[in-house]
Amino acid sequence: MMVITEIDLPTKAGELAAVIRSAFQTVAEEFNITPQNAPTNPAFIKKEDLIKGAEAKSIKYYGCYERGKLLGCYALEKAGDGLYYLERVAVVPEARHRGMGKQLVRDAFKRVKECGGLKVSVAIIDEHRILKNWYKELGFKETGRKTFPHLPFNVCFLEYRL
């Protein structure tokens, strides 16, 4: 049985960082993302980065636990005007393809709605067709693309209206 709950930072930051690194490492390998060409990519995140970022931007992390083990997570950041950013949706490779990612995103929708939010936005690697289609199957609509000079890939923005 899976349980999704808010993660207590900084107490669980090390465990959370390990899950995020594990989940994003496969993407980093697939798209040739390295610490040199994208040092802020979640595949290389440290617990100190999580703590600092959460405090600076009022980001809340939520984790999916199974039998007491953290296997997946997501982060929410309030952006204003009823908009929330959904970030670092992650499931460790050994727990994938069991519906955990969908449960995490649906949990995010529920929490945003409870806070009076109207929209959820996510940014992904534009060339990651499988992930883009997955978000679209969940009801997200593509709202734009952008190239950032500090990233080795294009970014696709998707939005879900509650």
- pLDDT tens readout for residues 65-83: 999 999 999 999 999 899 9
Mean pLDDT of 29-38: 97
pTM of the full predicted structure? Answer: 0.95
What CATH code would you report for 2-161?
3.40.630.30
Among candidates 88, 91, 39, which has minimal Cα distance to 61? 88
Whether the CB-CB separation of 95 and 70 falls below 8 Å is answered with no
Name the phi and psi angles at 95, rounded to 5: -110, 10
Structure tokens at 143: 């709202």
What percentage of the chain exceeds 90 in pLDDT?
95
Residue 56 has pLDDT above 90, yes or no: no
Query: Which pLDDT band holds residue 147 (cuts at 50, 70, 90)?
Result: very high
Query: Which pLDDT band holds residue 160 (cuts at 50, 70, 90)?
Result: very high
Q: Around Cβ 138, how many Cβ atoms within 10 Å?
A: 16
Residue 58 has pLDDT above 90, yes or no: no
Query: Which pLDDT band holds residue 3 (cuts at 50, 70, 90)?
Result: very high
Distance in angstroms (rounded) separating the CA atoms of residues 152 and 81:
31
pLDDT mean across residues, the chain? 96
pLDDT digits (tens, 9 = 90+) for 88-112: 999 999 999 999 999 999 999 999 9
Q: Taking CA 93 as the corner, what is the angle to CA 130 and CA 154, rounded to the nearest 5 degrees?
A: 40
- Given the structure tokens 């989940």, which residue do they identify? 23
Whether the CB-CB separation of 71 and 13 falls below 8 Å is answered with no
Distance in angstroms (rounded) separating the CA atoms of residues 12 and 134:
29
Q: What is the pLDDT of residue 59?
A: 95
Query: Which pLDDT band holds residue 1 (cuts at 50, 70, 90)?
Result: confident
